[in-house]
Amino acid sequence: MKKIFGFVLLLLATTAKAQGPLIRISTNNISLVYSPDQRGRLIQKYFGRKLQPETADTLSKSSQEAYVTAGMESLLDPAIRVVHNDGNPSLELKYISHQSSKKDGNVTTTDIFLKDPVYPVNVVLHFESFYKEDVIKAWTEIKHNEKQPLLLTAYSSSMLHFNAAKYWLTQFHGDWAREVNMEEQPLTAGMKILDSKLGTRANMYQSPMFLLSLDKAAAENSGDVLAGTLAWTGNFKFAFEVDQLNALHINAGINPYASDYTLKPGETFTTPAFIFTYSATGKGQASRNLHHWALNYGVMDAHTPRLTLLNNWEATDMNFDENRLVQLFGGASKLGVDMFLLDDGWFGNKFPRNADNAGLGDWQPNTTKLPHGLGYLVQEAQKQGIKFGIWLEPEMVNPKSELYTQHPDWVLRLPNREENYYRNQMVLDLTNPAVQDFVYNIVDKTLSDNPGIAYIKWDCNRMLTNTYSPYLKDKQSHLFIDYTRSFYKVMERLRAKYPHLPIMLCSGGGGRTDYGALKYFTEFWPSDNTDGLERIYIQYGYSHFFPSNTISAHVTNWGKQSLKFRTDVAMMGKLGYDIKVDAFTDKELQFSHDAVTTYRRISDIVWYGNLYRLISPYEDDRAVFQYVSDDQQKAIVFHYLMNVRRKEVFEHVKLQGLDPKKNYTVKEINLFPGTNSAFRFNRSYSGDYLMTVGLNMAPRATSLTSNILEITAE
């Protein structure tokens, strides 16, 4: 047997028997079990907390087909629907075999092979289970050998079935600058669908993630919770169907809306992965599972320290020139951040990019604003001891651009219809290989002509309308899917050449926030809304699925709170600034410089530690978050008082995740110069005390004030 990473590859192949085998996909605490029935149909026997002992007779709760096909006897929303060459719109899938192989001590892959007994159609259900993290990744491959293409009209990544008394669904929805509002409701009989049909800026209204709590509303530290998300930067669909027997069936995958797919004989249709975890101790644990999985497997270079930065978008908009930028570099170095990030407005000559109505697509530095080009800026930044990063939006074009004039056939646009603009721009037809080359070359040229560029902010400021591809001709219903696949193709090429360049996934706020893209991107821009108060809710929402080093958080002039409040909020994510540093008072500059230094010291705990959401902003007039290092030696508490009412009483904050037997010191950090801590935490506390009695964190409760505590084991 071959050794992979020092571990022995274990391959178990089992073929169907009359009494089907139990196929267990399990992790440390959860278990998903399948077995074929007498007819050979694959049944989901169990999903949930691992039972002790795990025997066949304990797994009798469910008798639902694992991957429901359309056209046969099931009345459920199907996972798959095909139309065969002869027009037959049905599919039967029977179990053929399965195999499991251990990739290493933590990851096991399981493949279950299914086949139609009459038509030459094969389906493989793939699973990757992550033992320590309690996460499962599920995706599907569809293949056939019919004479002509097979029509696919539904193609879920995975299906899960539940039997509980009640189901509570939390969705994350919003709008531009109002992202990921959490709303929870009990599911009633019938269908509830969370989806997106927006293509590029896929989740402008609805983010591709959900929580499902069984029997009662989701709680932070108790109850059975499923947390699921789709690794796909495009249209997604989560369908929740409660049937007449009160069983719940979840279909997760690409949204088949306007996306009938013709699959050629021999070609494989691979769905994106549905990534999920299950916790029997509430949503807090579900989030920690996903964070650990993301850091170990889901996010590009997740263990590489992220760069703190100063961005110029909020400070200058597109009104700058090279002298002003060099001045701003001074601000970055005074703050002590790692990098300056030049935003939109640096390019376009025939159609200068001075507003959002021109220049997009013409990626040459504007010679009036930047007479010495980008290379000069890289060098000037380096002289001031900082790195230089750049904004790009390479998938888009303004009609007022040379690109649009030269390549009208590269633009997605409906025949016989007026062009529909959003932010004055159109989307390029990325399904066209020539456009893929163009996008790749723009990025490659920008990086190779200007050695030293250390970072890219990759923006995407509009959703898809004008959904017609000149390139796809009679395959228009492939557009949504092929667009996303083409985006990944470009990213694959770029990552082959630039494997470790940090790139922010930005989409005019939280329009792209998914693990399909985070394979290639190091962090994402959660919202253009950087108001400190609003950001508490936004970062709280994303924290259910993403670790804090992926959630970019910039200190800006949005919001009426103090600089300290806004900074304390940003320090809970991936810290950056987007503000006029030269307008700071001496004290503000001193505070911000010290905050950057402090952030560098505590960021390991915030990025890689265990998050405990102690108090939710949705449930109280304050929000409290705590990050604890794996070894329980250090913890950081972020405490935000939001709307304090007259004589409002705030209970002690009980910490979590500490070692009850250890003694800890508690210190307030990140104080504004000239202010003193209101706390008297001048003795040591046992972990048990901190978790049972807790700390009075609101001795002088005032609206829109905040504190950061550093807790250190003695």
- The nearest distance, CB 259 to ligand DGJ, in angstroms, is 27
Q: Which residue has the tokens 């994510």?
A: 573
Rounded to whole angstroms, how far apart are CA atoms 343 and 525?
13
- The nearest distance, CB 399 to ligand DGJ, in angstroms, is 17
Between 116 and 578, name the residue whose CB sits nearer to ligand DGJ: 578
Helix (H, G, I), strand (E, B) or coil at 650: coil
Binding to ligand DGJ by residue 509, rule CB under 6 A? yes
In angstroms, the Cα distances linking 631 to 287, 626, 694, 713 are 19, 15, 20, 10
Between 36 and 526, name the residue whose CB sits nearer to ligand DGJ: 526
- The nearest distance, CB 311 to ligand DGJ, in angstroms, is 7
- The nearest distance, CB 459 to ligand DGJ, in angstroms, is 5
What pairs with residue 455 in β-bridges? 389
Q: What does 642-694 look like in DSSP terms, one character per residue? A: -SPPTT---PPBPP-SS-TTSEEEEEEE-PPTT---S----S-EEHHHHHHT-
- The nearest distance, CB 270 to ligand DGJ, in angstroms, is 31
Rounded to whole angstroms, how far apart are CA atoms 554 and 337?
12
Helix (H, G, I), strand (E, B) or coil at 648: coil
Whether residue 545 contacts residue 290, with contact meaning beta carbons closer than 8 Å, is answered with yes
Binding segment toward ligand DGJ, per CB under 6 A, in 8-16, 241-249, 503-511, 598-606: 503-511
Those residues with Cβ within 8 angstroms of residue 623's Cβ, 6 or more apart along the chain or in another chain: 536, 540, 615, 616, 617, 639, 640, 642
Between 285 and 539, name the residue whose CB sits nearer to ligand DGJ: 539
Binding to ligand DGJ by residue 506, rule CB under 6 A? yes
Between 554 and 639, name the residue whose CB sits nearer to ligand DGJ: 554
Q: What's 645's DSSP letter?
A: P
Whether residue 352 contacts residue 334, with contact meaning beta carbons closer than 8 Å, is answered with no
Helix (H, G, I), strand (E, B) or coil at 101: strand
Among 134, 343, 482, 710, binds ligand DGJ (CB under 6 A): 343
466's tokens: 């004008």
Buried b (16+ CB within 10 A) or exposed e, 693-708: eebebbeebeebbbbb
Binding to ligand DGJ by residue 620, rule CB under 6 A? no
Q: Which of residues 419-478 bind ligand DGJ (CB under 6 A)?
A: 459, 461
Query: CA neighbours within 13 Å on the CB side: how many for 31?
Result: 18
Between 508 and 687, name the residue whose CB sits nearer to ligand DGJ: 508
- The nearest distance, CB 299 to ligand DGJ, in angstroms, is 20
32: nearest Cα among 102, 153, 126 = 126
Whether residue 578 contacts residue 555, with contact meaning beta carbons closer than 8 Å, is answered with yes
Among 508, 516, 547, 573, binds ligand DGJ (CB under 6 A): 508
Among 133, 338, 344, 514, binds ligand DGJ (CB under 6 A): 344
With CB atoms as reference, the residue minimizing the distance to ligand DGJ is 344
- The nearest distance, CB 14 to ligand DGJ, in angstroms, is 50
Rounded to whole angstroms, how far apart are CA atoms 264 and 121?
12
Q: Which residue has the tokens 């495009």?
A: 234
Largest CA distance in the chain: 80
Binding to ligand DGJ by residue 530, rule CB under 6 A? no
Neighbouring C-beta atoms of residue 18, cutoff 10 Å:
7
Binding segment toward ligand DGJ, per CB under 6 A, in 24-32, 504-512, 597-605, 690-698: 504-512
Binding segment toward ligand DGJ, per CB under 6 A, in 78-86, 502-510, 641-649, 656-664: 502-510
618: nearest Cα among 697, 536, 702 = 536
- The nearest distance, CB 461 to ligand DGJ, in angstroms, is 5
- The nearest distance, CB 457 to ligand DGJ, in angstroms, is 6
Q: 571 — phi, psi (to 5°)?
A: -70, -10
Q: Dihedral of CA 548/106/494/436: which sign? A: negative
- The nearest distance, CB 403 to ligand DGJ, in angstroms, is 17
Binding segment toward ligand DGJ, per CB under 6 A, in 93-101, 506-514, 601-609, 623-631: 506-514
What track of x and - describes contact with ligand DGJ for positions 303 through 332 (by CB under 6 A)?
----------x-------------------
Among 260, 528, 604, 620, binds ligand DGJ (CB under 6 A): 528
What pairs with residue 569 in β-bridges? none
Between 517 and 641, name the residue whose CB sits nearer to ligand DGJ: 517
- The nearest distance, CB 511 to ligand DGJ, in angstroms, is 8
What pairs with residue 594 in β-bridges? none
Whether residue 216 contacts residue 223, with contact meaning beta carbons closer than 8 Å, is answered with yes
Binding to ligand DGJ by residue 391, rule CB under 6 A? yes
Among 347, 520, 525, 591, binds ligand DGJ (CB under 6 A): 525
Binding segment toward ligand DGJ, per CB under 6 A, in 135-143, 505-513, 536-544, 628-636: 505-513
Between 134 and 344, name the residue whose CB sits nearer to ligand DGJ: 344
Q: Which residues bind ligand DGJ (CB under 6 A)?
A: 313, 343-344, 391, 459, 461, 506, 508-509, 525, 528
